[in-house]
Structure 1
């Protein structure tokens, strides 16, 4: 059975006249009659009762008409849906990001994409750089926003979203808070609260290397995965922390931010995805992201 057989059958069932149905289908009557007869033989039932003067649906034909219409309707919907997916207007897009990305234009890009393409189902995941890279490699994530300083793995494409300096987060009343900017050498002996290396290994290693090049041994007393936790510990006087500059936009009582002076890495926020990811929805998402990235 082919879809054309259903079209032929429905036309005859609605016209109850083979001649009129043939005109409607832009074909001659004998081939139409033959195709309907083939359909009946395949089904093993008579769909029409025929006389020399009339055509009527049999009870089996009436039941089959309802299902035939449903099949064609579902087929049309399936065609429209697969075309929408091919155009990126429907489907699933799995989007990763780091916590402090919420303080950039990334959420606005996601919001605009959702409004523009409401039939694309977005799954949003907050993970560290290392976790996002593992998920993208395993095809568990379509696109992520990571922090890095020396590029991205070769199997990934990337788009620079934002580049910014590090800032020092200091407890209020700390001697370093009296400075307008803090030289890296002044952090010798200062307790530091940093993000875990396993979360952002490239960034962590570059930061520690900058301390070493300045002749300073980084005195890391605590590792915290969440920036807000680090700020709370700084406010409690447990030490100072180092964050990308965008984090300072969300102020917290008890802490102040100062620029760092010295040969420091500049963290890059990069949107990353697999080179062989040909998803149309991803392409549309990247178009939206480009509108909200910093001028680079």
Structure 2
């Protein structure tokens, strides 16, 4: 029977497909990951990965094992976390990440409600650039993040939608779009579209050649838009929280609404995370 360390290493490598990143994620050496995977392959009797100097890929047996094992492993880790929480109660520190001022304000309201039901638990806020969201979640830097949905990943859990809002384009004040009542989605093909590193399936479809800025923060992207370097798709809240004389915000005529919710790593949903997610859902359900 494989050891838990072998299964954990296998699932991490199946997600990362890179020995170095897997070692960083598990906080061990690359050599240890390689040795553990080889030991697991000897137990099973077939290769689980194909390895070349440039890439790592799952074999058919490896893909099947990943798909069969992941739900069971998530259930085991969740059960252990639940048992620990039952003994400790909702205590300790919950680390929550957000991306902009609106998200921070929403989470501050959630934290106030959360603290009333869990006075023994502290909430620590961290502001994250888009490119930091997924690494922070997967490396354990934060427990939960408020992010645009969907934030795909078999290793992630998404809570209920907390906010739905219209999509806008941030454009230079002198841009032709700034004089329009609304910009049709089809017109995105005519301009350079600026984007952060987080996935957005709708934008992937309608702006596949967008200028991705993996390390860019919101203010940097707005500055680029204001300088005429491209147009930036944003949610409606951005025009309220980030008014700028060099930027005009124009509605997108036929775009679906943006959705926002809490996301956390699968299998690590502690009582703190569950209680915080419940507080968030209750807060947005209240009439204003």
TM-score normalised to structure 2 length: 0.57
Residue 258 (1) aligns with residue 250 (2): yes
C-alpha contact (below 8 Å) 1:193/1:224 kept by paired residues:
no
The answer to whether residue 218 in structure 2 is matched with residue 227 in structure 1 is yes
Q: 5+ residue gaps in structure 1?
A: 1-81, 213-217
Larger Rg: 1
2:238 to 247, 250, 269: 247
Cα 1:155/1:208, change in 2 over 3 Å? closer
Is the counterpart of residue 169 in structure 1 residue 170 in structure 2? yes
Please state how far the C-alpha of 1:176 moved relative to its aligned partner: 1.2
Q: Deviations over 1:221-250 (max 9, x none)?
A: 866621122222222233321112221212
**Aligned match of 1:280:** 271
- Measured after TM superposition, the shift of residue 179 of structure 1 is 1.0
The answer for the alignment partner of 2:124 in structure 1 is 123
CA RMSD, 1 decimal:
3.4
- CA 153–161 in structure 1, closer or farther in 2 if over 3 Å, else same: farther
* Alpha-carbon distance in structure 1 between the residues aligned to 2:258 and 2:153: 13
Q: Is 1:144 aligned to 2:136, yes or no? A: no
Alignment partner of 1:124: what SS?
strand
Asked if the contact 2:146/2:261 (under 8 Å) is kept, the reply is: yes
- Paired residues in the alignment total 202
Task: Please say if residues 168 and 257 of structure 1, whose CA atoms lie closer than 8 Å, have aligned partners that are also in contact.
Answer: yes
- In structure 2, runs of 5+ residues without a counterpart are 1-83
Q: Is the 8 A contact 2:195 2:210 kept in 1?
A: no
Q: Deviations over 1:87-109 (max 9, x none)?
A: 32x31212122235536622321
Task: Provide the secondary structure at the position in 1 that maps to 2:110.
Answer: helix
* 1:156 matched residue in structure 2: 157
Deviations 1:242-263 (A, max 9, x none): 112221212112211111123x
User: Is 2:98–2:104's contact at 8 Å kept on the other side of the alignment?
Assistant: no
- In structure 2, do the counterparts of structure 1 residues 275 and 229 end up closer, same or farther at CA, with 3 Å as the change threshold? closer
Contact 1:168 1:258 in 2 (8 A): yes
Aligned to 1:209: 205
The structural deviation recorded for 1:177 is 1.2
